Structure 1
Amino acid sequence: GAHDVRGAILEHWRSLGAQTGVLGYPTGDDTAVPGGWKTDFAGGSVYWSPSTGAHAVRGGILTHWLADGGPAGSLGFPVTDHVALPDGGGWQVRFQNGTLTERPDGTIETTTG
């Protein structure tokens, strides 16, 4: 069914190709989280806060970050999108208080600070 996606999250989803991009269709409405908002999509989630803006988090990084408490956890909100590392080194998202890196074998590395 249809889902309510608005504001900066909507604009960010559109910038990533909307339903034909990496995130696909929304699977939930905009939802309040501590300090901001999130919307879940078939291929990941977009989180927004006033200080960080809207950023996409996907795959094993999303799973690991949510297990740590998501935006209310030790890493805080994402400050970059889920991006591929050069030379097939995996994927990475920088957060307010650290970085999560997913290696091609699925290993998640946490760097704080």
Structure 2
Amino acid sequence: MKAELTDAEKHENRLISWEKNWINQIPSSPKSGYGSTIKATENMRKSLETITNQLKKDLAKEAIRFLDCPSGDMTWMPLFLRSRTDVIYSGYDLIPANIEMSKANFSKDVL
């Protein structure tokens, strides 16, 4: 027997549900949840350092591009990006409020 989906789980309602969760999140907590905290992402940031270095070596590139999808609340990514001048970063997300927040806080023109 197949379980019936709640309204929030139905495909057509997911974005609405995510937007509500984003807007109603407690201001001091990471909007993307515990998994996006500085502490929880320590190993991920170390791994990205290793992966970035290896990709640059394997591709013989001075810089590489990252596409972060979904980019989430950008709690931890700035720590990684501040330590690298060799990463050209682009983020993508579905939640309009998150996109606007990221544009306001992290956008820079690259020519």
Pairwise same-fold verdict (TM > 0.5): no
Relative to the length of structure 2, the TM-score reads 0.22
Structure with a larger share of its residues in strand? 1
Relative to the length of structure 1, the TM-score reads 0.22
Question: Which of the two has higher C-alpha Rg?
Answer: 2
